[in-house]
């Protein structure tokens, strides 16, 4: 069994004996509040810290839990403990209903998402006040019996919050080290790139929101009875979201334990000042600490401590598996069918034999317009299994748009796409990736907070359907060996030069074991010797079985690599055929080569 969950459980069991010491109720109440904020901050972090969708609506879900439990207890005489699962469910359903709408709108990210979730808090608060749920007078729970879990009522609340905190931390840890967590971290850094690499972004965000809300709902349910009298004016405020954001940012949002550390620090400080009758001074001090933390520890206390511990300032927290290279085994000579093994047979349809090869990708009448700009105007293209098809054309002729539409990054305006005989029409990008198509970006788009190894491991997990992060890390290491980046496995993408970043794009594309790879100007910006290296690598990619669509302006690479070319001009197919034949044609010379000659 893994050490972390055992440690969390052991700490939980040890803390459960605290009430046996017979401490004054004051300490029970203080510890209850600490654990209460641990649950709230950690649950917030599961969506907002991991995926980067900063929510200011946590008060709404917490409040939904409070009012669900309060009403079930006061109106329907439900036993307190029975109300907790319902509080979790109501909060989760509320979150899913919100996410199902909001997560579909691409524009609602960042600050817009934060503002929208805050607005939801006030809307729900207004509804609660103006309905019998609260009625404007609040709900009194003075008559509700506190279950006898601990020796006293205050110790019961402490034990309930402890159980909720242990469960929440275990869930947060489990998500962080899982494939699900890796997908959330990828969404955090570049949602569109994550989707194109096979991460089901919509489903993952919805799942994270549902879990986050359910845990907040449980915290709310417990807190309702702890308060014994609840009013909407105190529940549906900005205080809850603001506090959990501060706690998580202080502790560190990229680690399951970060928000808990922040919660302990801030609650402890606030309480010690309140107890000493210096509440205002306490709040001012916390403000100062937060400003200092944001300035000097922008990744949070935990990350800073981890860096000092490892004496490696560049090393980020490792969300995948047991932690980066430790999980990466030695390169397997022939792998298990998912790593970069040499193809036992020559690739079907090498140079000169494409006429007989099966059609892998068929694109018919494909068009794409951007508010009046016709980027693709009904092109028909066939890509044959095993070939390297060059996609050429002057600037703005629609080459990148072709890749963007086929990979699902953009929805086409018209036409149809068939891959291995199956229609891709209407499929989301992650399902297109899952069906065996990978792409690189003209300007590399690595996940900036993840290591080079983790970047590739994500492609292995989602495009390559590897479920276990440790296996994904091992396979990712093989792809780094294949592209010559093995020495950079633990570096951040920011530490790579352009050449290495382009090769990282290639490694990520290959790691999903695609049957079709679309390379968008991978040679752009490279030196002549780097281009030679890349050309050799692309040959090796074809040799190990992939079909390649190759968008490129570097003509010597096009000449060296392609079996056939198609030429676009103004979003239309201008010519196609053998590279030497097509490039001699006058219409191509004037459209494409003419422009290059004048460039
Ligand atoms: N997201 C977008 N919004 C608006 N217009 C776009 C968008 N993407 C592409 N276009 C337009 O579509 C046309 C085709 O662009 P595209 O990037 O596909 O050309 P390209 O052949 O790849 O060019 P280059 O060789 O310079 O990369 C251009 O006029 C471009 O301005």
Lowest mean pLDDT among 165-174, 215-224, 259-268, 299-308: 299-308
Q: Where do you find CATH 3.40.50.300 in the chain?
A: 357-598
Q: Is the pLDDT of residue 317 over 70?
A: no
Say if strands 422-423 and 414-419 run parallel, antiparallel, or are unpaired.
antiparallel
Ligand 1 atom having least distance to the Cα of 404: 18
Mean pLDDT of all residues in the chain? 85
Ligand 1 atom having least distance to the Cα of 398: 18
Q: Is the pLDDT of residue 305 over 60?
A: yes
Whole-number Å distance, alpha carbon 569 to ligand 1 midpoint, is: 12
pLDDT for residue 276: 62
pLDDT for residue 595: 54
Tokens encoding 147: 């279950």
Q: Is the pLDDT of residue 351 over 60?
A: no
Q: What share of the chain is helix, strand, coil (3-state, %, to 5)?
A: 60, 10, 30
Place of tokens 């044609």: 585
pLDDT for residue 323: 39
Which residue from 376, 414, 459 is spatially nearest to 196, judged by alpha carbons?
459
More confident residue, 285 or 599: 285
pLDDT for residue 565: 93
Whole-number Å distance, alpha carbon 370 to ligand 1 midpoint, is: 9
Q: Is the pLDDT of residue 285 over 50?
A: yes
Residues 6+ apart with CB under 8 A from 231: 134, 137, 138
Q: Is the pLDDT of residue 121 over 80?
A: yes
Spatial distance between the Cα atoms of 175 and 161, rounded to a whole number of angstroms: 21
Whole-number Å distance, alpha carbon 285 to ligand 1 midpoint, is: 52
Choice from 192, 379, 397 to test ligand 1 binding pocket (greatest atom count within 8 A of CB): 397
pLDDT for residue 108: 67
- Name the residue with the closest Cα to ligand 1, atom 12: 375
Spatial distance between the Cα atoms of 132 and 485, rounded to a whole number of angstroms: 63
- Name the residue with the closest Cα to ligand 1, atom 1: 370
Q: Is the pLDDT of residue 295 over 90?
A: no
Whole-number Å distance, alpha carbon 396 to ligand 1 midpoint, is: 5
Q: Is the pLDDT of residue 104 over 70?
A: yes
Question: For 37-54, what is the mean pLDDT?
Answer: 95
417: Cα within 13 Å, side-chain hemisphere: 27
Handedness of CA 575, 578, 579, 581 (dihedral sign): negative
pLDDT for residue 207: 97
pLDDT digits (tens, 9 = 90+) for 409-434: 999 999 999 999 999 999 999 999 99
Tokens encoding 437: 């198509």
pLDDT digits (tens, 9 = 90+) for 213-233: 999 999 999 999 999 999 988
Q: Is the pLDDT of residue 146 over 80?
A: yes
Q: Is the pLDDT of residue 312 over 60?
A: no
pLDDT for residue 346: 39
Whole-number Å distance, alpha carbon 13 to ligand 1 midpoint, is: 60
Tokens encoding 60: 């709404």
- Name the residue with the closest Cα to ligand 1, atom 10: 375
pLDDT digits (tens, 9 = 90+) for 318-336: 444 433 333 333 333 334 4
Tokens encoding 219: 């915290």
Residues 6+ apart with CB under 8 A from 559: 579, 580
Whole-number Å distance, alpha carbon 360 to ligand 1 midpoint, is: 25
Whole-number Å distance, alpha carbon 497 to ligand 1 midpoint, is: 26
Give the predicted TM-score (pTM) of the model. Answer: 0.87
Strand pairing partners for 422? 419
pLDDT digits (tens, 9 = 90+) for 261-274: 999 998 988 877 76
**CB-based pocket (< 6 A), ligand 1:** 370, 373, 375, 393, 395-401
- Name the residue with the closest Cα to ligand 1, atom 29: 396
Choice from 371, 396, 410, 553 to test ligand 1 binding pocket (greatest atom count within 8 A of CB): 396
pLDDT for residue 549: 95
Q: Reduced to 3 states, what is the DSSP secondary structure of residue 374? A: strand
Question: For 396-411, what is the mean pLDDT?
Answer: 94
pLDDT for residue 505: 93
Helix (H) or strand (E) holding 516: strand 516-520
Indicate the length of the chain as a whole number: 599
Confidence tier at 313 by pLDDT (50, 70, 90): very low
Spatial distance between the Cα atoms of 310 and 447, rounded to a whole number of angstroms: 22
Residues 6+ apart with CB under 8 A from 146: 80, 153, 156, 157, 225
- Name the residue with the closest Cα to ligand 1, atom 8: 401
pLDDT for residue 322: 37
Helix (H) or strand (E) holding 185: helix 179-189
Choice from 107, 368, 399, 519 to test ligand 1 binding pocket (greatest atom count within 8 A of CB): 399
Spatial distance between the Cα atoms of 2 and 174, rounded to a whole number of angstroms: 11
Q: Is the pLDDT of residue 32 over 70?
A: yes
The CATH code for residues 357-598 is: 3.40.50.300
CB 225: neighbour CB atoms within 10 A?
A: 25
Whole-number Å distance, alpha carbon 465 to ligand 1 midpoint, is: 32
pLDDT for residue 314: 37
Q: Reduced to 3 states, what is the DSSP secondary structure of residue 489? A: coil
Which residue from 158, 565, 195 is spatially nearest to 383, judged by alpha carbons?
565
Q: In percent, how much of the chain has pLDDT > 90? A: 52
Whole-number Å distance, alpha carbon 112 to ligand 1 midpoint, is: 27
Question: For 344-370, what is the mean pLDDT?
Answer: 69
Confidence tier at 310 by pLDDT (50, 70, 90): low
Choice from 107, 374, 392, 401 to test ligand 1 binding pocket (greatest atom count within 8 A of CB): 401
pLDDT for residue 420: 94
CB 583: neighbour CB atoms within 10 A?
A: 20
Outline where 386-511 has alpha helix (H).
399-406, 429-434, 452-462, 469-483, 498-511
DSSP string, 232-299: HHHHSSSHHHHHHHHHHHHH-TTSTTHHHHHHHHHHHHHHHHHHTT-HHHHHHHHHHHHHHHHHH-TT
Q: How far apart are the first and last CA of the chain?
A: 63
Q: What is the DSSP letter of 20?
A: G
pLDDT for residue 331: 33
pLDDT for residue 585: 86
Q: Is the pLDDT of residue 555 over 70?
A: yes
Confidence tier at 594 by pLDDT (50, 70, 90): low
Spatial distance between the Cα atoms of 433 and 512, rounded to a whole number of angstroms: 8
- Name the residue with the closest Cα to ligand 1, atom 13: 375
């Amino acid at each position: 069994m893994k050490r972390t969950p055992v440690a969390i459980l052991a700490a939980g069991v040890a803390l459960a004996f605290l009430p046996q010491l017979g401490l004054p109720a004051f300490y029970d109440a203080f510890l209850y509040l600490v654990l209460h904020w641990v649950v709230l901050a950690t649950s917030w972090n599961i969506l907002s810290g991991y995926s980067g969708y900063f929510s200011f609506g946590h008060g709404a879900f917490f409040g939904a839990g409070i009012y669900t439990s309060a009403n079930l207890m006061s109106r329907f005489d439900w036993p307190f403990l029975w109300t907790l699962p319902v509080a979790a469910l109501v909060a989760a359903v509320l979150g899913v209903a919100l996410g199902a709408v909001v997560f579909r709108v691409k524009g609602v990210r960042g600050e817009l998402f934060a503002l929208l979730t805050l607005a939801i808090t006030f809307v729900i608060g207004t509804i609660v006040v103006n309905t019998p749920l609260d009625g404007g007078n609040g709900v009194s729970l003075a008559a509700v019996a506190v279950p006898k879990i601990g020796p006293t009522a205050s110790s019961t609340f402490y034990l309930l919050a402890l159980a909720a905190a242990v469960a929440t931390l275990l869930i947060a840890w489990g998500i962080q080290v899982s494939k699900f967590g890796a997908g959330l971290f990828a969404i955090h850094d570049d949602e569109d790139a994550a989707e194109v690499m096979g991460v089901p972004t919509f489903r993952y965000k919805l799942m994270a929101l549902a879990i986050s809300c359910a845990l907040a709902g449980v915290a709310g349910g417990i807190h309702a009875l702890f308060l014994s009298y609840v009013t909407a004016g105190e529940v549906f405020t900005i205080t809850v979201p603001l506090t959990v954001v501060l706690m998580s940012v202080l502790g560190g949002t990229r680690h399951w334990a970060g928000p808990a550390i922040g919660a302990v620090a801030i609650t402890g400080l606030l309480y010690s000042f309140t107890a000493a009758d210096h509440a205002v001074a306490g709040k001012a001090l916390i403000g100062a600490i937060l400003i200092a933390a944001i300035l000097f520890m922008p990744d949070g206390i935990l990350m800073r401590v981890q860096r000092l511990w490892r004496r490696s300032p560049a090393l980020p927290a490792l969300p995948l598996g047991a932690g980066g290279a430790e999980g990466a085994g030695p390169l397997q000579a022939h792998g298990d069918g998912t790593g970069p093994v040499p193809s036992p047979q020559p690739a079907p349809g090498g140079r000169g034999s494409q006429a007989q090869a099966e059609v892998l990708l068929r694109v018919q009448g494909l068009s794409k317009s951007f508010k009046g700009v016709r980027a693709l105007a009904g092109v028909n293209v066939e890509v044959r299994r095993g070939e390297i098809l060059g996609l050429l054309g002057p600037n703005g002729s629609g080459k990148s748009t072709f890749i963007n539409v086929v990979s699902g990054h953009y929805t086409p305006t018209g036409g149809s796409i068939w891959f291995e005989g199956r229609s891709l029409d209407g499929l989301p990008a992650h399902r297109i990736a899952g069906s065996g198509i990978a792409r690189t970006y003209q300007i590399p788009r690595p996940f900036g907070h993840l290591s080079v190894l983790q970047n590739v491991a994500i492609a292995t997990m989602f495009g390559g359907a590897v479920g276990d992060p440790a296996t994904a890390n091992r396979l990712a290491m093989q792809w780094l060996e294949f592209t010559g980046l093995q020495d950079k496995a633990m570096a951040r993408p920011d530490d790579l030069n352009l050449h290495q970043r382009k090769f990282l794009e290639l490694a990520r594309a290959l790691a999903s074991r695609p049957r079709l790879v679309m390379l968008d100007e991978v040679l752009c910006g490279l030196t002549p010797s780097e281009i030679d290296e890349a050309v050799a690598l692309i040959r090796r990619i074809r040799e190990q079985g992939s079909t390649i669509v190759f968008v490129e302006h570097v003509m010597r690479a096009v000449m060296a690599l392609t079996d056939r070319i198609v030429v676009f001009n103004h979003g239309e197919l201008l010519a196609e055929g053998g590279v030497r034949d097509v490039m001699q044609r006058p219409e191509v010379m004037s459209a494409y080569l003419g422009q290059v000659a004048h460039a």
